[in-house]
Amino acid sequence: MNIAVFCSGSGTNLQAIIDAKQKGNIKATIKLVLSDVENAYALERAKKASIKIYIVKLKDFASRKYFEEKIIDILKEEGIDLIVLAGFMKILSSDFVASYQNKILNIHPALLPSFKGTHGIRDAFLYGVKITGPTVHFVSKDMDEGPIILQEVVAIEEGDTLEILAEKVHKAEHRIYPKAIELFVQGKLKIDGRRVRAG
């Protein structure tokens, strides 16, 4: 199975996926890393792991449609079976999602359906919840809406700052994302309405 990881930023989740692959905990090929940001640190991590990189910038295309067509061409050429969004900051259109139906995973840094959107960790912290944590889910046409694969609870303790919480959530992300990917690779994820059964 060939995996493409899409990133826009630092790529700590990408790193966790690379590490899991190197330890034999993900039995698939990380075929490429694609970024819409030229200087994303994720690209350095990919290069270090000898993974092919693609930089595809929205502003280089006349419209989002052409941008996505370019990405789909790459994915087809590389024989990609699974797309892993790891801090990819562009929203994919419903047409794109339909062409990879149930083959796109995302990680969100809050317990969905709470605190959707770009600032899941901060929003949970400011709301004053006592627990939060990351969610790995299938991508559907609506943002942060697809069926949930794995979640991990992170407690917000007395004295935690936003920075401390962010670190705890990221550590949990790095535990559950590789696990969810391997479940997919092993063909263990069965979608039944909103419910995802593993095994």
User: Which residue sits closest to ligand GRF, CB atoms considered?
Assistant: 87
- Residue in this structure with the two tokens 């095994």, named with its chain if needed: 199
**CB under 8 Å to 91, separation ≥6 — which residues?**
143
> What is the pattern of x (binds ligand GRF, CB under 6 A) and - over residues 111-150?
-----------------------x----------------
- Using CB under 6 A, pick the residue from 109, 133, 146, 178 that binds ligand GRF: 109
- What residues from 82 to 101 belong to the interface with ligand GRF (CB under 6 A)? 86-87
- Parallel, antiparallel or unpaired: strands 104-108 and 189-192: unpaired
CB-wise, 108 or 168, nearer to ligand GRF? 108
By the rule CB under 6 A, 152 interacts with ligand GRF: no
> What is the C-alpha to C-alpha distance for residues 23 and 137, in angstroms, rounded to an integer?
24
- Within 10 angstroms of residue 9's Cβ, the number of other Cβ atoms is 16
Instruction: Assess whether 170 carries a catalytic annotation.
Output: no
CB atoms within 10 A of CB 90: 18
Which residue has tokens 């912290």? 125
Q: How many residues bind ligand GRF (CB under 6 A)?
A: 15
The minimum distance between CB 64 and ligand GRF, in angstroms, equals 20
Q: Which residues are catalytic?
A: 108
